[in-house]
Every structure is written in structure tokens, then in C-alpha cells.
Amino acid sequence: MSSVTQNLPSGHEPEPWIEPGHTYASVTDKISSVVLTRPLGIGWLAGFAFLFGIVMVLNLAIGYLIVKGTGIWGINIPIGWGFAIVNFVWWIGIGHAGTLISAILYLLNQKWRTSINRFAEAMTLFAVACAGLFPLIHTGRPWMAYYMFPYPSTMGIWPQFRSPLIWDVFAVSTYGTVSLLFWFVGLLPDLATLRDRAKIGWQQKIFGMLSMGWRGSARHWHRYQSAYLLLAGLATPLVLSVHTVVSFDFAVGIVPGWHTTIFPPYFVAGAIYSGFAMVLTLAIPMRKAYGLEGFITLRHLEQMAKVMLATGLIVAYGYFIEFFMAFYSGNKFDVFLAKQRLHGPYAPFYYALILCNILTPQLLWFKKVRRNIAALFVMSLIINTGMWLERFVIVVISLTRDFMPSAWGRYSATVWDYATFVGTLGLFTMLIFLFVRGLPAIAISEMRELVHQDSHGNEGHS
């Protein structure tokens, strides 16, 4: 990807990563004003109110769940996992793009990350928050979920570290913590900026506290950069490990359709795939609403489209290998499951998945499509749906028809399943709304750096 900008057709001036004519002051002003001065529009308020309502639905769904029990969901024997786990994997996956953009692209010194990494990271945090909710509430006795943490219990009982679910607990909590640290460290100089530019007392106080007295001295910056670089270096393997561990939930099980070694790589690819889709879903409306087209340029969108195309192809390869291995291994259970996906009662889901995740993204081969904002937006939605379907196919279909034909069953979600899922969508979007108005959605200091470098014409990448 680092060669993207060079591969542009010769004679064609590479368009800049930032609209020409911006100065340190102008970028600072434009971005910080969204937080500090811009009044709350009716649109924002209406949207927020609506989303708040949806979050209340989530509360209701969880409340009823705790009162009645997981029986209010569609799960049964043999399908012990349903929407809850599907949503968990889906949300975690979405989170991955944020870390990828801010960490991996940082290491690869991709400047185009600058304008999107901040809210991509925010997206990560919120997605992980939504994801983390599910493993907790899907248990039969959520109030006992703390059993999963290694604490010295009076009975000397400890968790069982061979279980992928315990790996999840550590992976997800670590991922949440590190993402938060990474995000905060990135915010620190911008908080200082806001502190200095805030006119209203309470804003000054809040940002003053948050910025911790950042002065931007050379020594500060030195340590800051080394810490930031280290975090990026740590987050990169972390983000790969998290979805690997999530895929272990299935790969370690013996259920046909789960017990597959291809899972870790293709789960990670899938995660990035859906993550970038979600970044687009968020970035396109946001740049419009807050006039940030100058910072999140068409070129950024195209770049992300390319990433989606690449990861989409990896995912497609994963699907293919799954089938290939089923038949190549000759394992009768795997073969049977493969056929079930094509002909079983849930076949429509599988075909829908192929359509969303493999066929649609092929349009991205065309520059026209990659640079058509509307098309990209629609496609991002389609891919998000497709990735959700992928998890449904893996979690549910595999369980419906496993080893004992006598125990075969089927699954259909109840209204409470849907309420919980929609509820988390609402929660996620509501948090994004708050973030956009509460914190600089684009890293100001990094934008200044970008201005600096552009003004000195060292375009591209070092």
C-alpha cells in the first residue's frame, strides 16, 4: 500500500493529502471550532435524541434478559450460540480497522492515515465497547461473569485457561485498554490546543485537566514520539492477535464448520474488511456534515476502497479454502456441512453472504466506482451486512447440523435478539455523535505536521 501514490499514472500530478492553501492556524481553527464554537445544530440534536431512544431499547432488552433469562432469545439445544456471539464477533471485527489505520499505517508511514486515524480509533473504542457487552450478557448468569477473571477466590477456585473464552476475556480487555491508551496519547497535544483556544471557563477547565499541562516542549515531543511509536508497534501484533483469538472460539471447538485452521488469518482479514467498510460508512456523512472534505479527501476514500478490495479478496480466498479443505480432507462431517451451506435450510444466508462479500466488492476494481462517493457508501453498508452474515453462517449453521442427526435443530431469532442488536447499533452511533462534538475528530497536531511537510513539497512518503 505504501507504493500507492507512486503507482499513479505518470504525468498525473499526485493530488495532495490535504486541500492546498491550509496553514497551521487554518487547520487548527477549522477542526477545533467544531468542538469549541460551532453551535449544536437541530440535526445533531434530533439525531442524538433518536439514538438515545434506541439505547433505551437496549436497556430494556438487557433488563428483561436479566429478569427472565437467556431463554428469551432464540437459542436452544443444539444451537447454544446465536445473535449474541454473532454480534460480538462482528463488532470486534469492525473495531480492527481503527487500530490498523492508526498503528500499521503509522508504522508504514502512510500520511493518508492522518486525517482519518482519530475517529477511526474512536470507532474502535466504541465498537469494542459494544462487542464487550455481548460475552457478558450472553451467559446464563451474567452476575456470575466475574468467575471468568483470575481473582483469589476464598474457595481457591481459578479460571480454566485452556478455554478460548478465557483467551477472549484477556484479548478483548487488553485490546480495549491499549486502544484507549493509544487514543488518549494521540489526543494529548490536541487537548492542549483546545485548552489554549477555549474561551469558555468550563471548557478551559475540562481540557486543562485532560491535557495534563502539555507544553509541547522538544523533550515532551521526543518522549511522546517514542512512546507513540512503541504503542503503534505493540498495537499492530495485538490487533492481529485479537481476532485470531476470537477465531479460536470456533477453531478450537470440534464442531464441523468451526474446527478449521484457516480461521485466524481470514478472520483478521475479514475484520479489517468490515472495519474499513465501517470507516467509510462513518467518514462519508461526517466529512459532509462538518465540511471536512478538505481533510478527508476523495483520495482518502479511494485508498480505503483499495484496502477493502484487497482484504475482500483474502476473505474470498478463505471461503474457498474452507470448501476445498472440507472435500480434500474427506472428513465426512466437514463435507456434509459444506453441502449444507449450499443446499441446507440456511442456504439463502450463504448465497447472500457470497453476494455481499465477494461479488459486490469486485466493482472496486474500477476507479470510477472507487471515486464515486455514493457508490462507496452503499457498498460499505453492503459489506457490513455481508460480514454480519458471515458470522451468522459460521456460528449458527455449523451448530444446526453437527454430529448426531437425532439432535439436529434450527434457530430463529426472537424480537429480543433483534432489540439487543439494534440497541448496540444505536449505542455505537450515539457515542460517535458525542465524540464528534466533544473532541477533535481529526488529529490537529498531525495535520499541522502534514501542512508543514506539504509546504516543503516532500510529498509522498519517507
User: What is the closest distance, in whole angstroms, from the C-beta atom of residue 59 to other proteins in the complex?
Assistant: 20
Contact predicate 115/108, CB 8 Å: no
- Judged by CB, which is closer to other proteins: 234, or 425? 234
Spell out the residues 6+ positions from residue 209 whose beta carbon is closer than 8 angstroms to its own: none
- Judged by CB, which is closer to other proteins: 141, or 367? 141
- Judged by CB, which is closer to other proteins: 272, or 395? 395
Other Cβ atoms within 10 Å of 41 Cβ, number: 12
The residue type at 436: V
The helix (H) or strand (E) run that includes residue 78 is none
Closest C-alpha among 324, 325, 307 to residue 269: 307
User: What is the closest distance, in whole angstroms, from the C-beta atom of residue 305 to other proteins in the complex?
Assistant: 29
Distance between CA atoms of residues 454 and 438, nearest Å: 29
- Judged by CB, which is closer to other proteins: 189, or 423? 189
CA 244 centroid distance within chain: 15
- Judged by CB, which is closer to other proteins: 81, or 433? 81
- Judged by CB, which is closer to other proteins: 19, or 449? 449
- Judged by CB, which is closer to other proteins: 4, or 60? 60
User: What is the closest distance, in whole angstroms, from the C-beta atom of residue 77 to other proteins in the complex?
Assistant: 6
- Judged by CB, which is closer to other proteins: 351, or 408? 408
User: What is the closest distance, in whole angstroms, from the C-beta atom of residue 238 to other proteins in the complex?
Assistant: 5
Q: How does DSSP assign 244-287, residue by residue?
A: HHHHHHHHTS-STTT--TTHHHHHHHHHHHHHHHHHHHHHHHHH
- Judged by CB, which is closer to other proteins: 82, or 423? 82
Q: Residue 74 carries which DSSP code? A: S
Cell of 41: 445544530
Closest C-alpha among 44, 75, 139, 111 to residue 303: 111
Distance between CA atoms of residues 170 and 148, nearest Å: 10
Calculate ∠ Cα 51-55-61, nearest 5°: 145
Cell of 315: 476473505
User: What is the closest distance, in whole angstroms, from the C-beta atom of residue 375 to other proteins in the complex?
Assistant: 35
Cell of 159: 479460571
Residue 335: how many CA atoms within 13 Å on its side-chain side? 6
- Judged by CB, which is closer to other proteins: 31, or 430? 31
User: What is the closest distance, in whole angstroms, from the C-beta atom of residue 41 to other proteins in the complex?
Assistant: 26
Distance between CA atoms of residues 349 and 346, nearest Å: 6
Rg (CA), the chain: 23
- Judged by CB, which is closer to other proteins: 215, or 367? 215
Cell of 153: 477466590
| Distance (Å) of CA 126 to CA 36, 98, 266, 435, 436 | 23, 10, 23, 10, 13
The residue type at 67: V
Calculate ∠ Cα 381-314-176, nearest 5°: 65
User: What is the closest distance, in whole angstroms, from the C-beta atom of residue 223 to other proteins in the complex?
Assistant: 5
User: What is the closest distance, in whole angstroms, from the C-beta atom of residue 60 to other proteins in the complex?
Assistant: 17
Distance between CA atoms of residues 401 and 393, nearest Å: 12
User: What is the closest distance, in whole angstroms, from the C-beta atom of residue 109 to other proteins in the complex?
Assistant: 13
Calculate ∠ Cα 394-395-400, nearest 5°: 100
User: What is the closest distance, in whole angstroms, from the C-beta atom of residue 350 to other proteins in the complex?
Assistant: 15
User: What is the closest distance, in whole angstroms, from the C-beta atom of residue 426 to other proteins in the complex?
Assistant: 26
